[in-house]
Amino acid sequence: MKNNLICSRKSLTACVERTILLVTKKENGGYEMKLKRKLLVFLAAVCLLAGNLAAVPVMAEETTGTEASVDCTGKYVNIALVVDTTGSMAGDIETVKENLSAFVKEIAASGAIPRIALIEYKDIQCDGDDSTVVHKTPDYSVWYDDAGQMVAEIEKLEAYGGGDSPESLVDALGYVTNDSVMTFNRYAAKFAFVLTDAAYNNANRWGYKDMNDAIAQLSAKGIQTTVVTHKDRYADTWDDVTEGYIMGDGYGSLTLSDVYADLTSKTGGTIIDMSEDFEKELSTYAKSIIAATASTEVDASYVPVTSISLGEAEEVPVVTGGAYKFPITVNPSDATVKDIIWSVEDESVATINKDLTTSEFCVVNPVNEGTTKLIAKTTDGGYTAFFTLTVADSLSDGTTTITCKPELVAGILTGSTDTKVALKLDESATTVDAGILKDIFTTLSTLPSKDVTFSFQDAYGEELYSWSFSGSELKDASTVINSFKIETGAKVDAVTAAVSATGTDGTTETIHFAHDGLLPGTATVKERTSLPDGTSYLYYYNPSTGKLEEAGEAKVEGGWVTYKIEHCCDYVLSSKVLNLSPAPTPATPAPAPQAQTTPTVKAPNTGDNTGIMAGISLLIVAIALVSVAEFMRRKRA
């Protein structure tokens, strides 16, 4: 914009230089004096003008963007563009597209970190629920960080559809306020920017009663909402579905400015008139957005999320009936908020175990063959990562075929060139149908070069233990395994007593098998252990003798132990060789009896008592004489 009011300092200096040059050209004294007077007047004017310039900000010949004093560096601004693309917008859509592009570019040039979303809406009552469209980046994010990509999306907008005049703006605003669709940067300046030429109806998929509910959500999230429309155009608020006026008492009773007064005023926004100088109004609003962004306060300790990753794979094959755990990486690692929202595009193909899923990983349960996307999104900024899940009943890597369906194993053994079949089962389903199990072992017995592994996993899809059988080591395919359940570290009193009887000092674990008896053949068992890496020793507990018997060696590596058995009961795994025949403990001899001596008790020294004893004796004699005399007297009488 040309500045016609203030002369630049550069042009002012040039004027002074030209005047001084004229003064030096002396043709006569009178002319010289006139020039001197003019020069003095001009210099006085220059001084006055210079004083005014000192008080007025210097403006460039062309002013674009924002004032230099506005600093948006490092500040986030999130803007949701909500555009009415019904047929009634056909006359305005090209102008809207052109000016929106300029608007986006101006925001991007502000020095802030702009992130812009685009939602187009029609009338879901006439055009269907999917007529409200949230545009997404190739990474499945609703936020466009690249202004060029956003402009390209805006260029795709086309005006068509719609029924009665009121359109489904309430539904579109639900996408802005719902975290499952749109999450904002934590300390961003937040804006919703609605472009429409019609009133709204209250139809929506978010459970909102009416526009007031949407306004409450926008206000609660601090999303300033501005509406660009034809302010003075009368609003047609008749709704064909409800067969009544949504607001007002008929056509001509309300203008679009009236219709959107609450939405804008209660969220801190404004109404821009599309009928006026739309380009100028939009540019002014862009500057106000930039100013608001610059004034946003950010906690000094806040570390924003910048990206997330689900690994390098673009496609991950999984099998129906299984469980899979997928970890997430949030960047930077010290981000303040690392919470993740997980979703799958098609829940008929796979579902998310919400009870086990956290912000660090997602547990997925494939349910039917097909493909779908697993999408991770941060609550801070809505950064996304995804990959495609390809779900099948069985998967082969060229050597091993994996399935979670026992009924498919026999067919895979005969129909596949793979030498191994891995049947993955949930730990709670440790019993396989006897008929299916017999078919598996009968088929395997005819294929000595093939193996079948029964792998039991926890709810996260992580293996707990497995049983592997080779066709070359089967003996009786008709033998039924009642249960594959294994309890490591089980407390069995009789086994504990047998271990104690060996007197060996070493680390041991008791292994309890739910199945009791022979197996169809040799089984290679793999399970978790706390024993140290290296060779450990396996012992079978014989319930008939109550003693342990050698059952071979076991290999421990990385927290897993592998060993072979042909029979199930209780076993002991030991880090040391147990002493199965300990020498009897010699009896401890009884101590020799010791001669008992009567202790001599020394009378206490009480002094000389001879006189006392003599007196007592005389008293006794006197009593005796008196008694005799009394006896004789009675006899005479």
> What per-residue confidence (pLDDT) applies to 283?
87
Does pLDDT of 635 surpass 70? Answer: no
Q: Cα 332 to the chain's mean position, in Å?
A: 15
Question: What pLDDT is stored for residue 235 in this prediction?
Answer: 84
Percentage of residues in the chain having pLDDT higher than 90 = 61
Answer whether residue 127 shows pLDDT above 50: yes
**523 pLDDT tier (thresholds 50, 70, 90):** very high
Residue 488: the pLDDT is: 87
| Beta pairing partners, 187 | none
Residue 249 lies in a domain: yes
Q: How confident is the model at residue 414 (pLDDT cuts 50, 70, 90)?
A: very high
Residue 612 domain-assigned (yes or no): no
235 and 126, same domain (yes or no) = yes
Higher pLDDT, 234 or 391: 391
The answer on 406 and 350 residing in a single domain is no
Cis peptide before 366 (omega within 30 of 0): no
Q: Is residue 271 part of a domain?
A: yes
Q: What is the mean pLDDT of residues 249-253?
A: 67
Q: Are residues 217 and 86 in the same domain?
A: yes
Confidence of residue 216 (pLDDT cuts 50, 70, 90): very high
The count of domains in the chain is 5
Read off the pLDDT of residues 280-325 as tens digits, 9 standing for 90 and up. 888 888 899 999 998 999 999 999 999 999 988 899 999 999 999 9
Q: Phi first, then psi: what are they for 537, rounded to 5°?
A: -130, 135
Same domain? 111 vs 246: yes
Sign of CA dihedral 453, 459, 460, 464: negative
Q: Which residues pair with 465 in a beta bridge?
A: 456, 527
- Residue 427 resides in a domain: yes
Per-residue pLDDT of 465-520, as tens digits, reads 999 999 999 999 999 999 999 998 888 899 999 999 998 888 999 999 999 999 99
pLDDT at 35 over 70: no
- Assign residue 425 a region: left if phi > 0, alpha if psi is -120 to 50, beta otherwise? beta
237 shares a domain with 331: no
Range of the domain at 317: 307-392
The letter for the amino acid at 393 is D
Residue 233 sits in a domain whose CATH number is: 3.40.50.410
How far is 436 from 111, CA to CA, in rounded Å?
Answer: 67
User: Coil, strand or helix: which one is 332?
Assistant: coil
Contact 178, 117 (CB under 8 A): no
**In contact, 321 and 366? CB cutoff 8 Å:** yes
| Chain CA centroid to CA 353, Å | 12
Residue 584: its pLDDT value, please?
62
In a domain, 231, yes or no: yes
Over the range 83-104, which residues count as b (16 or more CB within 10 Å of their CB) and which as e? Answer: bbbbebbeebbeebbebbbebb
Which of 344, 367, 392 is the endpoint of a domain?
392
| CA gap 336, 302 in Å, rounded | 6
The Cα–Cα gap between 271 and 258 comes to: 10
In this structure, the number of other CB atoms found within 10 A of the CB of residue 472 comes to 14
580 within domain boundaries: no
Mean predicted confidence (pLDDT) in 207-229: 96
The Cα–Cα gap between 403 and 407 comes to 10
Instruction: Look up tokens 């969220």; give the residue.
Output: 267
CATH number of the domain encompassing residue 327: 2.60.40.1080
| pLDDT recorded at residue 412 | 97
Position 601 in a domain: no
pLDDT at 400 over 80: yes
pLDDT given for residue 62 in this prediction: 38
Question: Of 315, 456, 322, 466, which is closest to residue 393 (Cα–Cα)?
Answer: 322
**DSSP category for residue 167:** B
- Residues 486 and 508: their CA atoms lie apart, in Å, by 16
Is the per-residue pLDDT at 554 higher than 60? yes
Strands (E), 68-188: 76-84, 113-121, 133-134
Residues 469, 495, single domain; the answer is no
- Residue 151's pLDDT band, with cuts at 50, 70 and 90, is confident
Residues 32 and 164 in one domain: no
What one-letter code names the amino acid at 37? R
* Beta strands 238-239 and 271-273, pairing class: unpaired
β-pairing verdict for 400-403 and 420-426 = parallel
**Predicted local confidence at residue 615, as pLDDT:** 53
Q: Which of 344, 377, 392 is the last residue of a domain?
A: 392
- Quick one: 342 and 417 in the same domain? no
| Whether residues 144 and 275 fall in one domain | yes
Mean pLDDT of 325-350: 96
Residue ending a domain, choose from 474, 509, 530: 474
Strands ordered across the beta sheet of 315-319: 315-319, 384-392, 370-378, 340-344
Where is average pLDDT lowest: 76-85, 230-239, 260-269, 427-436? 230-239
Does 37 score more than 80 pLDDT? no
Same domain (yes/no): 269, 334 = no
CA dihedral sign, ordered 401, 402, 403, 406: positive
pLDDT in tens, 572-630: 999 999 998 866 655 555 555 554 443 433 434 444 454 545 555 555 555 655 555 56
| pLDDT per position as a tens digit, 601-611 | 343 444 445 45
- Is 70 within the bounds of a domain? no
Beta bridge partners of 226: 193
Query: Which has the closest alpha carbon to 200: 125, 130, 142?
Result: 125
- Same domain, yes or no, for 455 and 494? no
pTM score: 0.73
pLDDT, averaged across the chain: 83
Q: What is the mean predicted confidence (pLDDT) over 231-239?
A: 82
Element (H, E) at 226: strand 223-229
Q: Please state which of the ranges 77-91, 338-352, 401-415 shows the lowest mean pLDDT.
A: 77-91
pLDDT tens digit sequence for 355-385: 999 999 999 999 999 999 999 999 999 999 9
Same domain, 94 and 198: yes
Q: Judge contact between 165 and 126, C-beta under 8 A.
A: no
* Residue carrying structure tokens 């100088």: 277
Mean pLDDT of 544-563: 95
Which DSSP helix (H) or strand (E) runs through 434? helix 434-445
Residue 414's alpha-carbon distances to 48, 177, 240, 444, 452, in angstroms, are 103, 55, 64, 9, 12
The sheet carrying 223-229 orders its strands as 133-134, 113-121, 76-84, 189-195, 223-229, 271-273
